Amino acid sequence: MNETAQFLDDGRIFSIVTRPDTVRSKVAIVLLNAGLINTSGPYRLNVEIARRAAELGYVAVRIDQSNKGESETRKGLSARASEVADFDAVAKQLGKLGIDEFVIGGLCSAADDSLRIATNKKEIAGLLMLDGYARKTAKFRVRQIYRWVTSKSAWKKLFRIVLRRGKKDIEEETVDVRDWDKPSVMINRYRALLQSGTKALAVFSGGVPGYYNYEGQLSECLNLGSDSDKLTEVYFRNFVHIYPSVAQQRKMVEIFLAWLKVEFPFHGDKAARDD
């Protein structure tokens, strides 16, 4: 396998394309930035995903979206318009390699961005959602209360707040950094994509207890009915959000690759399966 690092779109977007020795699929993996972390990803997560996918025969590209990592801001474009323009630039470049379908995704904000970008993009056939969106369900709230009541640290925290007469420390203020629309909009967008044929792998770690705490929560809130096979949902309660553990990273990547092989088989494999 080999890698080519280059700036696309008149130098606006930085990308690294990982090409297998033998390209076995016309589907490419596009990995976006996790938060503000550059192309390599947290603890090199994106590097690991890209290179492991290339070992199998898929082309993979990790990019710095506008105003992140090595990429410049797109002047005159909003953040949301920029993310679509970034994808278009990458798709155009990969089109030269004969790639016509994409699995797009990544961790956290990358998953959020992917969901938006995939809307109205027929060439996006798959989503890799690592700690992506999920709506809080009734079961989630019950479990959250139970977890809170049985948590020593939660009681300690409450005690500290009471002692300070209700005032929270600056450190205790949680900042909502996820760029999510209203739940109904998010659900409709997600559902519409899956119903139109897009496939999604949603992997959740134990690092997002504020909105996800049991396996099957996403499927429940999406209520896909006959399209439920389009979504594969996995929950690793002991996994950390940014995958600092090499073992956890490997496990997640294995699951992604297995999903990829089933949902986006190589040309020969697909023909054999159709037969």
Partner 1 sequence: MTNSTPLYFGPTGECFGILQHPRSQTHQGGILMCPALYAESTKAHWASRKLSQRLASLGYWVLRFDYRGMGNSWGAPAQIKLADWFDDLKHAYDLLVSHVDAGNVSVMATRFSCHLVSEFTFKEQFDKAVFWDPVLTPKDWLMALSNWREIQHREFGITFQTAEYHAQILSDELLKNLQEDSGSYRGVNSTSAVAIIGANQQTRIKLSDYGIRTRCVTDLYDWNQIHLHPFYVHHIVDLLAEELG
Q: Does 265 bind partner 1 (CB under 8 A)?
A: no
For partner 1, the closer of residues 147 and 168 by Cβ is: 147
181 in contact with partner 1 (CB under 8 A)? no
By beta-carbon proximity to partner 1, the closer residue of 184 and 238 is 238
Among 7, 148, 211, 214, binds partner 1 (CB under 8 A): 7
Q: Which of residues 44-103 bind partner 1 (CB under 8 A)?
A: 44, 47, 69-70, 72
**Is the CB of 41 or the CB of 132 nearer to partner 1?**
41
How many residues line the site for partner 1 (CB under 8 A)?
Answer: 32
Distance CA 27, CA 24 (A): 9
**String of contacts with partner 1 for each residue 138-157, x by CB under 8 A:** ---------------x----
Among 30, 31, 39, 61, binds partner 1 (CB under 8 A): 39
Closest distance to partner 1 from the beta carbon of 172 (Å): 13
Q: Is 130 among the residues that bind partner 1 (CB under 8 A)?
A: no
Q: Name the minimum Å distance from CB 55 to partner 1.
A: 13
**Nearer to partner 1 (CB atom), residue 6 or residue 120:** 6
Q: From the CB of 44, what's the least distance to partner 1, in Å?
A: 7
Closest alpha carbon to 27 in 81, 83, 87, 94: 94
Q: What is the Cβ-side half-sphere exposure of residue 160, based on CA atoms within 13 angstroms?
A: 10
Cβ at position 151, least distance to partner 1 in Å: 8
Q: Confirm or reject binding of residue 207 to partner 1 (CB under 8 A).
A: yes
- Interface with partner 1 by CB under 8 A: which residues? 3, 5-7, 10-12, 14, 16, 36-40, 42-44, 47, 69-70, 72, 153, 206-207, 238, 240-242, 244-247
